[in-house]
Amino acid sequence: MQRGLKEYIRKFATTLLTERLDPASAAAAVFWGIFIGIIPIYGLQTLAAVGVALLLRLNKPLILAATFVNNPLFWAPTVVASIELGGFLRHGSFQPWRLLIVFSAAQLKEELFSWVLGSVVLGLLAGGAAALVTMAVVHWLTPAQRSLRQRIRFVNRTYAGSARYDRGFVRWKMRLDRIFSLLAAEDLGTGTVVDLGCGYGMALCFAAFGDQGRRLLGCDLNAHRISVAQHALHALNAETSVCDVRDFALPSAGLILILDVLQYLPAEEQLALLKRCCAALEPGGRLIFRVHDRERGLRTALTLGLDRLLFSAEHVGSRPTILCAAQYRSALSEAGMEVVERRFRNRLPLAHILFLARRPAVESAS
């Protein structure tokens, strides 16, 4: 087999096995797998499981594995339990158990109805219970989730002395925004971290976990957020200032973050800023930025609508400017960066793309 094909198959298998294994998605995959495995759609279960996995973007191997609750060992107890549960729901009491073959046609129809009803309820109950267990197991046991929890605790502790509203904002943002689980899964490099439009400076703090002497630099136009950041990050090697990202003197950096800020700038200034960031990165350094995803239908509309509200609440005086993904991609490629894009759904129904760009450790000769 050719090397390229082998590599493709290896990558495909890795993606299949590891996609969307965060606690909520893993729990959803197990729930649907068990539900589909219990309801009597024999012969169609694999098809249904793959269909649901594609529709809800769940881990396919996990959902398929969960449908194996329908196996020769469990089949009889599941059917009996479904019929009994269905009978109980319809008649208020468990019915004496009899073999289906001794029923008349009318009784058979009755029992089949009880079976279908009972299996749906049993599927919901068993799927729900297994989903809760899965969520707890994935949450507590996987190293990535453990590390994410530790980082989030570190950030929450760092902002514990902030005013109530600010502290609460940080906690909710850490809880709801999936950007932090994505960042925790990335190599955040070494050396100076710069966060352009840093707001409260949460991402700086998040990046400093594990290396609290790391140099952190941030700027934002919002003076209140910067004062919260300065107060909270005083024990770290951090310097944050009220400054426009366009005027911020970029030092040589190992990591530059721009999270939900580019849309405040006109198109050409966004691209100029990205170019400047790429030039400021050390070899092997990373530029990570998040922008809205323009190609996600209703979610895009919601994301833009929310941003317009934010813009008007902050009296920004312009509308959010979002380029299409290809424009960001080509700006990064032109600057010689290696680029990976992650489209992701947040817990709130918002649509974002995370661009993860790396300056090659060894620059190519061309």
* Binding positions for ligand SAM, rule: CB under 6 A: 197-199, 202-203, 219-222, 225, 244-246, 259-261, 264
How far apart are CB 301 and ligand SAM at their closest, in Å?
18
Structure tokens at 240: 């944050």
- Considering the complex, state which of residue 34 and residue 288 has its C-beta at the smaller distance from ligand SAM: 288
Position of minimal CB gap to ligand SAM: 199
How far apart are CB 49 and ligand SAM at their closest, in Å?
37
- Considering the complex, state which of residue 68 and residue 172 has its C-beta at the smaller distance from ligand SAM: 172
For residues 195-207, one letter each, b for 16 or more C-beta atoms within 10 angstroms of the residue's C-beta and e for the rest, the string is bbbbbbbbbbbbb
How far apart are CB 251 and ligand SAM at their closest, in Å?
17
**Own/partner pairs, 206-211, CB within 8 angstroms, 24+ separation:** 206/151, 206/154, 206/155, 206/180, 207/183, 207/255, 207/257, 208/236, 208/237, 208/238, 209/150, 209/151, 209/154, 209/155
358 strand-pairing partners: 286, 338
Task: Give the 3-state secondary structure of residue 81.
Answer: helix
How many CB atoms neighbour CB 342 within 10 A?
15
How far apart are CB 195 and ligand SAM at their closest, in Å?
6
Please give the full DSSP string across 147-180, using - where no structure is assigned: HHHHHHHHHHHHTTTS-HHHHHHHHHHHHH-THH
- Considering the complex, state which of residue 82 and residue 192 has its C-beta at the smaller distance from ligand SAM: 192
Q: Give one word for 92, left, alpha or beta, with left for phi > 0 and alpha for psi -120 to 50.
A: left
Structure tokens at 76: 């009889």
How far apart are CB 150 and ligand SAM at their closest, in Å?
20
Q: Which of 225, 262, 252 is nearest to 354 (CA)?
A: 262
- Considering the complex, state which of residue 28 and residue 354 has its C-beta at the smaller distance from ligand SAM: 354
How far apart are CB 30 and ligand SAM at their closest, in Å?
32
Give the helix, strand, coil percentages of the chain, each rounded to 5: 55, 15, 30
CA distance 226 to 240: 6
- Considering the complex, state which of residue 31 and residue 206 has its C-beta at the smaller distance from ligand SAM: 206
How far apart are CB 183 and ligand SAM at their closest, in Å?
11
How far apart are CB 255 and ligand SAM at their closest, in Å?
14
- Considering the complex, state which of residue 26 and residue 170 has its C-beta at the smaller distance from ligand SAM: 170
- Considering the complex, state which of residue 244 and residue 338 has its C-beta at the smaller distance from ligand SAM: 244
- Considering the complex, state which of residue 155 and residue 202 has its C-beta at the smaller distance from ligand SAM: 202
How far apart are CB 289 and ligand SAM at their closest, in Å?
10
- DSSP code, position 364: -
Residue 158 and residue 201 in contact, taking contact as beta carbons nearer than 8 Å: no
CA distance 125 to 187: 40
- Considering the complex, state which of residue 4 and residue 317 has its C-beta at the smaller distance from ligand SAM: 317
Give the side-chain half-sphere CA count within 13 A for 71: 9
